[in-house]
A and B are shown apart, each in its own frame.
Chain A
Amino acid sequence: MSERIPPTRTPVFEERLKKRYAAERRFKLAGIAAIMFSIAVLAFLLVTMTLNGIGGFQRAELTVPIDFTQAGIAGDPVVLSQPGGMQSLEAQDLPSVVEFFAEQELGPQGAAQLGSGAWREVGQAIIDDPSLLNTTATFDLPASPNLAAALNGEGSDETQALAARLVEQGKLETAFDVGFLSRADATDPQQVGIWGALKGSILTMIVTLALAFPIGVLAALYLEEYAPKNRWTDLIEVSINNLAAVPSIIFGLLGLAVFLWIFPSMRSAPLIGGMTLALMTMPVIVISGRNAIKAVPPSIRDGALAIGASPVQVVFHHVLPLALPGILTGTIIGMARALGETAPLLMIGMRAFVASPPDGFTSPATVLPVQIFLWSDEIDRGFVERTSAAIIVLLLFLLVMNGLAIYLRNKFEKKW
């Protein structure tokens, strides 16, 4: 009579055990591979953007000394500080003065090598400090697009030779363009800035958040805590889920048809853009908010009700604080999507050429993704790097926004 072997000690069992562990290892490897792939794609994106974009934060600058004592420009600080200051300088022929000294410094074609709006930078410097007019000051002025291209080894041989000579003399160089972060759109890639679009994006996001967050959270709270469960609330739930899946361009058409019909004078305004994006963001906040509220343990509600808290106190003292981290996660996702959105904003006119940063919520503006789209469409070679630079700014903005939201989420996160 053979001794009975327990089933868990048979060779068959051990064979199966090996297979089970092998399956686990395979699964783990697949997971690691997926994560490595995502990291590689992200790194590739960031590296190419950074390499391309660094050039976008720089521009070719010509060094031009200007002796204002010879120019005879009247610089009454009171006149200059008024809005018409720049016109007053233009009337006194500041552009010609700048061209004259450029030719003196750079040779016969010197004036042509300056960017078309270079004199404005001189003018701005005078407005900021009228005492310059009594001195000789040296300016780093933007070079013309041709010269800038020549500096990068493009364009005609003559211009390239000129660029090489000027670089040798130390009069032409590539410098970090501080102004890129303070100017708005322009036709000349040497003159463009990202601040207009960045400010437009910030204003638009403020409007979106201010509308979508409270409305979304209140809707989620009402649907979860107060609404009776019947056919109507089912219908509302289905509608909200569908709304989250509607293509964004449709929201743009809605904004065009409804908001611009109500406020016809606010074409291209961040207010309208924000309202349109809020429509798009709200369903995302409602859905994630409802899930977060559902996840609050019923025992907390019972505990509060049982000591006589009214339903509204239960909601605001207990449910909402516990659900807030989840709601914020949904808000991050919704806002990130809204920040990157282009299509609906094209519909409501935010693709217009806006040469100055918006003054407020109702003045014409553009936003970062639209600006990127517009620049990527430009023919001029100089816009390629500017586009990459704009993308970097957009990504940084996204990073700051998400970082803030994650900070807030962790702050409110509590254990129970």
Chain B
Amino acid sequence: MVTVIHPNLDDTEAKMRARDVSVFYGDKMAIDNVSIEIPTKYVTAFIGPSGCGKSTFLRTLNRMNDTIPSARVEGEILLDGEDIYRSKMDVVQLRARVGMVFQKPNPFPKSIYENIAYGPRIHGLAEGKQELDAIVETSLQRAGLWNEVKDRLEDSGTALSGGQQQRLCIARAIAVDPEVILMDEPCSALDPIATAKIEELIDELNGRYAIVIVTHSMQQAARVSQRTAFFHLGKMVEYGRTSDIFTNPLEERTKDYITGRYG
């Protein structure tokens, strides 16, 4: 069965393009022939029941699956037209261009400042302390964390609350000035207030970065994204404008999932 793509998609520039991507863990197929375009100016949400492969697919977009020895990727994934698996593109450079935020906040056990400064420092993005300070400040500001931490930049990043930690991780991803930010259920470990702050932040970052978010919460997908892809059993079942997917799903399985019949 092929993916149902809603016909009324507006023409928008694609940042990333996946063509016939399949992912295997050993002999087991986790992703089956997925093709999708990730628009530059929108937030794209991946929804679907647990184990449907949406996180796996997200992790192929910046080759984080490389760390799993048995994982194998077929098909091609293009970033600005360049195949990230088979061209000469370096994986370190790719990850600097395609940042990632994880399910559980994972700040480094270092100071808040060091958490943000680490990326720019290893990539040599700042010349001198002043420039680095400036990057740290803008990143924290964009992540909406600056006012809360500006007086305690030397405190440990792990001493922050869960929501603050997650925003710190987003700031850390922003600090290397990526083109795409992948978010793997960024709010699943957070309370509703912290979640609301992250969603607000995603809204603000929308347009500056191409954002892909995996989420279990359909309300969240509806709130923050403009494009939604529904995954089921390793296949991408349906893809379209978020409003269309939620109000007018074309596939039976999508309808069942969003109406809460399973998942």
- Which A residues have a C-beta under 8 Å from some C-beta of B? 228-229, 297, 299-310, 313, 317-318, 322, 414-416
Contacts and interface: CB of A to CB of B under 8 A. Distances in A.
Interface string B55-73: 0000000101001010000
B118 interface: yes
B158 A416 contact: yes
10 contacts: A299-B104, A304-B118, A306-B102, A307-B175, A308-B93, A308-B96, A317-B118, A414-B156, A415-B156, A416-B158
Nearest to A229: B69
A182 B54 CA distance: 72
B92 A308 contact: yes
Given A302-B64, A416-B109, A308 B176 contact: yes
A303 to B, nearest CB: 4
B144 interface: no
Q: Looking at A228, A305, A308, which has the most chain B CB atoms within 10 Å of its CB? A: A308
Interface centre among A228, A297, A299 (most CB of B within 10 A): A299
A234 to B, nearest CB: 14
Contact of A310 (B62, B92, B158): B92
A313 B173 contact: no
Contacts of A310: 92, 122
A302 B119 CA distance: 13
Contacts of A303: 102, 106-108, 169, 172
A208 to B, nearest CB: 31
Contact of B99 (A300, A307, A318): A307
Interface string B106-131: 11110000000011001100000000
Q: How large is the interface on B (under 10, 10 to 19, 20 to 34, 35 or more residues)?
A: 20 to 34
Nearest to B174: A307
Interface of B: 62, 64, 67, 69, 92-96, 99-100, 102, 104, 106-109, 118-119, 122-123, 156, 158, 169, 172-173, 175-176
B114 to A, nearest CB: 10
Given A228-B69, A299-B106, A416-B109, A307 B173 contact: yes
Contact of A415 (B93, B100, B158, B169): B158
Nearest to A416: B109
A318 B106 CA distance: 12
Nearest to B106: A299
A309 B96 CA distance: 8
Given A300-B108, A302-B102, 7 more contacts: A228-B69, A229-B69, A306-B62, A306-B95, A308-B94, A309-B119, A415-B158
A308 B158 contact: no
A317 B122 CA distance: 10
A302 B172 CA distance: 13
| Those 9 A-B pairs whose CB atoms lie nearest each other, nearest first | A308-B96, A299-B106, A306-B100, A416-B109, A307-B119, A308-B95, A303-B106, A414-B109, A308-B92
B122 A300 contact: no
Contact of A313 (B64, B102, B122, B158): B122
Q: Which of B62, B69, B122 gathers the greatest number of chain A CB atoms within 10 Å?
A: B122
A310 B122 CA distance: 9
A366 to B, nearest CB: 45
